[in-house]
Amino acid sequence: MCGINGIFSHNKQTYIPQVELMNKAMEHRGPDDHGIHSADHITLGHQRLSIIDLSDAGHQPMHSADAQLTIVFNGEIYNFAEIRKELNYPFQSHSDTEVILAAWQQWGIKCLDRFNGMFAFAVWDHTKNELTVVRDRLGIKPLYYHYDGQQLVFSSEIRSLLASELIDRQIDTEGLNDYLRYQTVQAPNTILKDVWMLEPGSYMIISQGNTELKKDRWWHIDHCQTEVPDSYEDLKEEVRHRFYQSVQRRLVADVPFGAFLSGGIDSSAVVGAMAHSSNRQVKTFNISFAEKEFSEAKYAAHIAQIHQTDHTEINLSPNDFLNELPNALNAIDHPSGDGPNTWMVSKVTREAGVTMALSGLGGDELFAGYAIFNRMAKLDKNQSLWKLPKSLRQLMGAGLQKVKPGVASDKVKAILSQTNYDFTSQYAISRQVLLDNRVGELLSSDISGHHLPVTLLNQFNLGDKSLLTKVSISEISTYMQNVLLRDSDQMSMAHALEVRVPFLDHELVELLLSVPDAMKYPHTPKKLLVDSLSDLLPDYIVNRPKMGFVFPWSEWLKKDLFELADHHIKQLALRPYFNAAAVTNLWAKFNSGDPSLTYSRIWPLVVLNHWMETNRIS
């Protein structure tokens, strides 16, 4: 796990000083080693966090044995040892990076189909004067870039791009619309003008003498089609097999490793499979709170005891968390409405001497664990509502708002006001943080009519998919990739901690996206997962209340964090993109207890202005 940088130029200018600054800006991602390679048209940079082959032989940028190729690589190829056996190559290291180089020489771009892992890497071909930049199937590892027709600048982090001083520090107006709506920006867009994110499962190629930046997808989430066993019993066995195989692959490391253990279904399944698969005692980490209503400690302790893990319970008071919040805010690379929780658990895990940890992220998206699966199923079953006159549906929505004011009723009204039943549009509304009427009030210019999640999902072939598979693809491609995975990466790598996600093994994902709804969700969320791993998931865990990281954010924003929030809300109001009166009015309504304004509608605004101030964004 590392950080990569690079600048390609159509002229023969090299950019060593700029790449040195880019490396320095993300030193936190790879404190173990760093390197730069420069030749005609290309300068590559790398910060290394050593996980596999800790020796100097794993240094990057790495060159092929014949010096034809140079690579910078961030991530892990879990099946590199198996691929290595197929290659006739004079290996000089035991690293997965060198396996990529050898595979690239033997199979070219087709080698990507053989890789099981999380990765973003760039390969420079010295013979062709050609650069290829690749991102993994599910977007676990980030890759940002800027191309102006003359230079291509790319990096694992936006801060690193900005450090090159080759990027204008300007907000992208469509990205801003998306951020206000969804507390993030959907790839390929970002919050910055002319800065893009390479889409998951994609690659791009640029070569000397051709100014076109060619992009293509090498893996398609909507094309997943795997044979599913006919019987439920056989399906459970196949899910179990692929899950265990995924966990086992992710235990390959030459450093101490552990797992985040909340005591929920997903993390408990991961820890159980780790304990059964590893020949060393598993280290587990749980954040607990003095206030029992916020604490999951007893559930985590129960799982730790069952599997005899080396369990660390980090007891925090709200003040402990609040004291660390400024550091968490400073670690944000791309603004997001989430993330401080991951920053905290990553901090304590790294301080305990662990360099790599497994996470249960992805279980809800694959096994229909979120409430949105049930909500979208209900909308699908009630399509006949859209045969009623629009005015009547709007009246129904307004009545619900009056009887039960709040965020949920506001969304129902917005959905009922749609002209037709349309899955992608109504899914997007269900995931909005601020609805369009509020976003329109906050902005000084007209709101964009384009919803980036809708644009993204309409590119997929969802028509023949079952309802729950449609929701899974939507969740994975929007909220998971652009909030959860982005936050997991930026907050863990702030502490040089590698996080691996077994649920996102592409072979497991491809199976689950092919499973019929009736087998995936017969009557309760995640039933297939629970049945497949019943020996790892006792009833005590399965039937416990779903909590996650629970903090009294609303109270904090009105009391402990009031001064911080007030400063950033008022500064944001003064920026030219915003309607000052509407922004301050929103803040006042929140503080007065307006039920339609939960903390999650306010906190992203605080984060946005903090990020703009920190990164000097105009």
Of the pLDDT bands very low, low, confident and very high (cuts 50, 70, 90), residue 551 is: low
Q: What is the pLDDT of residues 217-257, one digit of tens each?
A: 999 999 988 999 999 999 999 999 999 999 999 998 877 88
CA end-to-end span of the chain, whole Å?
A: 32
Q: What is the pLDDT of residues 507-536, one digit of tens each?
A: 999 999 999 999 998 788 899 999 999 999
Which entry of 2, 354, 372, 583 is annotated as an active-site residue?
Answer: 2
Of the pLDDT bands very low, low, confident and very high (cuts 50, 70, 90), residue 423 is: very high
**pLDDT for 213:** 96
What residue type is assigned to position 575 of the chain? R
Task: Determine the average pLDDT of the residues in 542-563.
Answer: 77
Q: Which two tokens stand for residue 163?
A: 């450090």
Q: Class of 2-219 per CATH?
A: alpha beta
Which residues of the chain are in CATH 3.60.20.10 domains?
A: 2-219
Q: For residue 67, is it left (φ>0), alpha (ψ between -120 and 50) or beta? A: left
Give the three-class secondary structure for 493.
Answer: helix
Q: Work out the angle at residue 442's Cα, subtended by the Cα atoms of residues 439 and 447, and round it to the nearest 5 degrees.
A: 50
Q: What is the pLDDT of residues 581-613, one digit of tens each?
A: 999 999 999 999 988 888 889 999 999 999 999
Cβ–Cβ under 8 Å, residues 197 and 142: yes
**pLDDT for 314:** 81
**pLDDT for 308:** 93
Which residues of the chain are in CATH 3.40.50.620 domains?
A: 223-367+476-542
Asked if residue 14 has pLDDT above 90, the reply is no
**Whole-model pTM?**
0.94
Q: What is the pLDDT of residues 254-286, one digit of tens each?
A: 778 899 998 899 999 999 999 999 888 999 998
Q: What is the pLDDT of residues 360-409, one digit of tens each?
A: 999 999 999 999 999 999 999 999 999 999 999 999 989 988 899 888 88
Task: Determine the average pLDDT of the residues in 25-36.
Answer: 88
Asked if residue 50 has pLDDT above 70, the reply is no
Q: Which two tokens stand for residue 486?
A: 């982005």
**pLDDT for 52:** 62
**pLDDT for 54:** 65
Interatomic CA distance for residues 187 and 201, integer angstroms: 12
Asked if residue 58 has pLDDT above 80, the reply is no
Q: Which two tokens stand for residue 296?
A: 């999951």
Query: Percentage helix, strand, coil, to 5, in the chain?
Result: 45, 15, 35
**pLDDT for 547:** 59
Q: What is the pLDDT of residues 476-506, one digit of tens each?
A: 999 999 999 999 999 999 999 999 999 999 9
Task: Determine the average pLDDT of the residues in 40-44.
Answer: 93
Beta bridge mates, 59: none
Q: Class of 223-367+476-542 per CATH?
A: alpha beta
Q: Is 224 a catalytic residue?
A: no
Of the pLDDT bands very low, low, confident and very high (cuts 50, 70, 90), residue 450 is: confident
Query: In this predicted model, which residue has the larger pLDDT, 566 or 524?
Result: 566
What residue type is assigned to position 606 of the chain? V
Q: Work out the angle at residue 512's Cα, subtended by the Cα atoms of residues 420 and 109, and round it to the nearest 5 degrees.
A: 100
Cβ–Cβ under 8 Å, residues 586 and 602: yes
Q: What is the pLDDT of residues 301-321, one digit of tens each?
A: 999 999 999 998 888 777 887
**pLDDT for 501:** 97
- Percent of the chain predicted with pLDDT > 90: 73
Q: Which of 102-106, 314-318, 410-414, 487-491 has the lowest mean pLDDT?
A: 314-318
Q: What is the pLDDT of residues 132-184, one digit of tens each?
A: 999 999 999 999 999 999 999 999 999 999 999 999 999 999 999 999 999 99
Mean pLDDT of the chain: 91
Beta bridge mates, 205: 132, 214
Closest-CA residue to 503 (of 249, 296, 186, 234): 249
Cβ–Cβ under 8 Å, residues 81 and 57: no
Q: Work out the angle at residue 241's Cα, subtended by the Cα atoms of residues 235 and 246, and round it to the nearest 5 degrees.
A: 125
Q: Which two tokens stand for residue 36?
A: 């730069």
